[in-house]
Amino acid sequence: MNVLWNEVISRAESEERTYLMEHECKELLLRAGIPTNSTLVAQSVDEAVKLSDKIGYPVVLKVLSPEVVHKSDRGGVKLNLKNASEVELAYKEIISAFADKKLIGVTVQEMVKPGLEAIVGVSRDPAFGPVLMFGLGGVFVEVLKDVSFKILPVTEADIEEMIKELRGYKLLQEYRGEAVDIPALKELLLKVSDMVMENPEISELDLNPVFLYPKGAMAVDARIFLRKPETGESLQTYRKKDESSLQKLFYPGSIAVLGASDTPGKLGWNVFHNLLYHRFAGKLYPVNIKAKTVQGVPAVSSIEEIKEPVDAAIILVPAAQTVQAFEECCRKGIKMIIIESAGFAETGESGKGVEKELRQLAEKYNCRFVGPNCSGIINTHHNVVQSIGVVGDLRKGNIGLVAQAGVYAAGMLWGVRHIMDFAVVATIGNKADINETDILEYLGEDDHVKVICMYLEDVKTGRRFIDVARRITAEKPVIVLKSGRTEAGKKAVSSHTASLAGNDIIYDAALRQAGIIRATDNDHMFGLARAFSKQPLPLGDGVMVISYTGSLGVAAADALSLNGMRPADLDAETRQYLEQILPPYVGCNNPVDYTFDMNAEQVRKTIEIGLRSKEISSFIVILQAEILDTYVKELKEIDFGNKPILSCVPCKEFAMEEVIALEQAGIPVYSTPEEAVRVLATMYRYGMRK
């Protein structure tokens, strides 16, 4: 196919075309093994009739011109021509209608019998490269937008998932009394993937319509648009490092802080204070051109004055001085540098130029750097806290958080640390070098990290991100909050961290393809993280709901059904035990409804009964905020084993001290039954995928 492809490309370039004509497209499709109908070229009426006789009636005639892309305009397509007379008339009408265009001739094609109409396409996304689209044609794609996307290349499993994602999937299983040939459809989609991956000159490809039959499939019309292939990776050439190369970023033995300050309120004071307050066990070197000591630690005026090797450096000097400070760190042999200073690509072209200069220096000295415009690294298992915001006590946890925005380490952490325990918080800012995929890859190997959360505004190395995430999500849940979903959001992102947010539909498909759980907002992301980090995965879909009010129990039951789970059936033994503790006016059902007569001892006993049942795989407990303190002690003493428990406390914001105590006891607390159920169902689906 390469020889033919080169010939077609050369012809298009010589004619200054950025697209291929239909007969060229179909010739390439046939060479790639993609079924399509016979397409011959006639340059006269007599030749059109002769070719029609050869193909067999009925036939289709279409205008063929390098100046006409949309052939149906102005009568450029004539369908269902049944004899020579109709072909002769159609040919003359086409030639007359396009007399003002440069015509090669008219294509003569067999009139394909209709099947279930589908559309197959490929476009290129700025973040992820080539993207495959599949959907049902006609009203399904034009009105309902019933399409599915996958990032190329795809596997057979990707294709199967892609097909089943369609709302109209049932039509593929039964169309006019027969199922379409799913294996033939899968083969067609895989061959389209292969064709695009082997020919990077393809910018867009459109097969519309594709007819699906009980046996086979056929592309009836085709368009291919061309581009100049890019060199290197789609957005950013990256230096592939193995996971261990970031070890000293998270576990440094010594840290130099350039711009460390003795003046409270300055960022240099905050960062150095955090390192001291959290008792970083390694050696600290404050670098300050004027001060002899910084917060009681002897200071040096420049990095060159430090005689010992230094594992990591934090740069907090003004942007104008950053390049010089960075190069001094490189010359010192420091391999990990964190640039927390702002004023770079997020400010415009001049800032982008400075970042390019930093990358060149990093290449020259073979070092890596985080940022600029970030809030550093936190690793509770190594007492490393580099945040530009003052951070109080942190417990050693199992959540890894990666964020482009520094507010996660400098602001939100102040509050969420009371109910969430982090292993690592890594802010990456403008990610001029180390990016989200590098950090994700490292956290996937860190045994302290059980669940990974990511706040992203864009993705720099799209296909690599998917490959890395797909490998990690097989072992650890990865939860992503992707901002920039709307046009307004995209503009805000660009002015904040110089990110170019991609098409949200493509991001959604890419995250799903990688096995990532997508969060809708910060509350959702942290709510998922709390459950995954504190509780085991449900081993079944049967849930025991315990409530102090019937209405909230019903809400939980509805939410379970809507989210692919169910209230567990209560076997005879479980009912027998429950009858001994339930009030006489309460039915022995699930949800278990205590009708405002519920106390902590009853809840504990009910859970203990549920733990014995094989039908019950998890618990949702709806508790009264006004007596929440009484539940904490009882629930802390229960050994739940491998059965997760999530709680719901309506109006929990008015009982935060008790909520924090329950969270710290390992039981996540949510405001509504629906919220708790959605989280539990997400855990169940993730467990089913593993």
The one-letter amino acid code at 591 reads P
56 alpha-carbon distance from chain centroid: 50
CA distance 406 to 536: 30
Torsion of CA 182, 185, 189, 190, to 10 degrees: 60
Tokens of 1: 């196919």
Query: Of residues 665 and 245, which shows the higher confidence score?
Result: 665
Strand partners, 670: 648
What would the two tokens of residue 310 be?
Answer: 């230094």
Minimal CA–CA distance to 52: which of 110, 119, 138, 139?
110
Domains of the chain (ranges, CATH numbers): 2-110 (3.30.1490.20), 116-226 (3.30.470.20), 247-531 (3.40.50.261), 535-689 (3.40.50.261)
Angle between helix axes 522-534 and 673-689 (nearest 10 degrees) is: 60
Count Cα neighbours of 7 within 13 Å in the Cβ-side half-sphere.
8
Specify the pLDDT at position 487. Answer: 58
- If DSSP codes are grouped into helix, strand and coil, which group holds residue 173? helix
> What would the two tokens of residue 597 be?
């007569």
State the CB neighbour count (10 A cutoff) for residue 139. Answer: 11
The answer to whether 408 touches 425, Cβ cutoff 8 Å, is yes
Model-level pTM?
Answer: 0.91
- Could you read off the pLDDT of 636-660 as tens digits, one per residue? 999 999 999 999 999 999 999 999 9
Tokens at residue 644, please? 């997760």
Condensed to tens digits (0 to 9), the pLDDT of residues 505-551 reads 899 999 999 999 999 999 999 999 999 999 999 999 999 999 999 99
> Which is nearest to 119 in space by CA: 205, 197, 182, 60?
205
Give Cα separations from 501 to 350, 434, 456, 492, 564 (angstroms).
21, 18, 9, 10, 32
Distance separating alpha carbons of residues 336 and 358, to the nearest angstrom: 13
Mean pLDDT, residues 239-252 taken together: 73
Q: How confident is the model at residue 72 (pLDDT cuts 50, 70, 90)?
A: confident
Q: What are phi and psi of 205, to 5 degrees?
A: -140, 135
Alpha-carbon Rg for the chain in angstroms: 31
Q: Which helix (H) or strand (E) holds 123?
A: strand 116-125
Please list, in sequence order, all residues whose beta carbon lies within 8 angstroms of the beta carbon of residue 37, skipping any fewer than 6 positions away: 26, 109, 110, 112, 218, 220
Residue 126 burial class via C-beta count within 10 angstroms: exposed 0-12, middle 13-18, buried 19 and up: middle
Taking all residues of the chain, what is their mean pLDDT, rounded to a whole number? 92
Q: Is 258 a residue whose pLDDT tops 50? A: yes
Cis peptide before 209 (omega within 30 of 0): yes
485 vs 399 pLDDT, higher one: 399
Helix axes 319-332, 349-365, angle to 10 degrees: 0
Q: How far is CA 109 from CA 36, 53, 58, 66, 78, in A?
A: 10, 11, 9, 18, 10
Q: Comparing 135-139, 174-178, 291-295, 456-460, which segment has the lowest mean pLDDT?
A: 174-178
The answer to whether the CB of 639 falls within 8 A of the CB of 665 is no
Report the percent of the chain where pLDDT is more than 90: 80
- Whether omega before 591 lies within 30 degrees of 0, making that bond cis, reads yes
What does the pLDDT look like over 183-212, one tens digit per residue? 999 999 999 999 999 999 999 999 999 999
Q: 574-585 pLDDT, tens per residue?
A: 999 999 998 888
Q: Residue 1: which pLDDT band, with cuts at 50, 70 and 90?
A: low
| pLDDT more than 70, % of the chain | 94
Burial state string for 16-42 with b = 16 or more CB within 10 A and e = fewer than 16: ebeebbbbbbbbbbbebebbbbbbbbb
Q: Which of 283, 292, 289, 343 is nearest to 313 (CA)?
A: 283
Instruction: Give yes or no for residue 496 having a pLDDT over 60.
Output: no
Q: In 3-state terms, what secondary structure has residue 405?
A: coil
Cis peptide before 58 (omega within 30 of 0): yes
Which H helix or E strand runs over 567? strand 566-567
Half-sphere exposure of 667 (CA within 13 A, CB side): 28
Between helix 656-664 and helix 628-636 the angle, nearest 10°, is 10
CA angle 639, 644, 649 (to 5 degrees): 100
Per-residue tokens: 159: 């294709």
Q: Which amino acid is at 560?
A: L
Q: Read out DSSP for 477-525?
A: -EEEEE---SHHHHHHHHHHH------HHHHHHHHHHTTPEEESSHHHH
**pLDDT band per the 50, 70, 90 thresholds, residue 485:** low
Which SS3 state, helix, strand or coil, does residue 599 take?
Answer: coil
Residue 207 has a pLDDT of 94
**495, pLDDT greater than 50:** no
178 versus 343: which is more confidently predicted? Answer: 343
Tell me the per-residue pLDDT of 73-98, one tens digit each, with 9 for 90 and over: 788 999 999 999 999 999 999 999 99
Do residues 573 and 602 touch, judged by C-beta distance below 8 A?
A: no
Stretch 302-312: mean pLDDT: 97
Chain segment 600-626, per-residue pLDDT in tens:
999 999 999 999 999 999 999 999 999
Structure tokens at 43: 């340059």
Cβ atoms of 41 and 94 within 8 Å: the answer is no
Each residue of 400-414: pLDDT tens digit?
999 998 899 988 999
Instruction: List Cα–Cα distances, 606 to 29, 264, 547, 566, 634, in angstroms.
Output: 64, 54, 11, 18, 12
